[in-house]
Amino acid sequence: MSSQRIKTPCVGLCSTVYGDLVCRGCKRFHHEVVNWNAYGEEEKRAVWLRLEALLVQVVAGKLEVFDRQALRQQLDARGIRFIAEQSEYCWAYGLIVRGARLIQQLEAYGITPLPEFRDHTLPELREVIDREFFLLSEAHYERYIAPRFLVEGMDLRV
């Protein structure tokens, strides 16, 4: 694995420049993308933890990581960057994103699809995961972030 630390969730597919409130690439909120470089370590960590929790929720509903060590060894052997402190389900997603068209035997990586997803190709599974991850991020924004911005913009002294 590259010894270079992953400093941002950005995946180079930013849709916030087109007006999306949630980036379709990294799933951060528009204000997080814009303000990322001004954030302190605590703020960045909060974003990373939210993204991890949502992604794990989605991936664990589609795949089982049955051999964490094998997965880590495969990531290292293929030079796929990952955050060691994150869940192995984040690692599995990273592997699928980068190797969906190349991987023949997912089980060799210590991962197996859950029964209801065994008929999906890896590119299809990647799309299902990515779409659900985006929808969860969008729902989180709508539920917890948007109302606060609306209240902050109102003059409550009336």
Q: What Å distances lie between residue 128 and 18, 111, 135, CA to CA?
A: 23, 17, 11
Q: How far is CA 12 from the centre of its chain?
A: 13
Tokens of 151: 């209240």
At 19 the pLDDT is 84
* pLDDT tens per residue across all 158 residues of the chain: 344 577 899 988 888 878 889 999 999 999 999 999 999 999 999 999 999 999 999 999 999 999 999 999 999 999 999 999 999 999 999 999 999 999 999 999 999 999 999 999 999 999 999 999 999 999 999 998 887 765 555 554 44
**Count H helices, E strands: the chain?**
6, 2
Predicted TM-score of the model (pTM): 0.89
| DSSP for residue 64 | E
Angle at 98 between CA 77 and CA 134, to 5 degrees: 135
What residue has token string 């969730």?
9
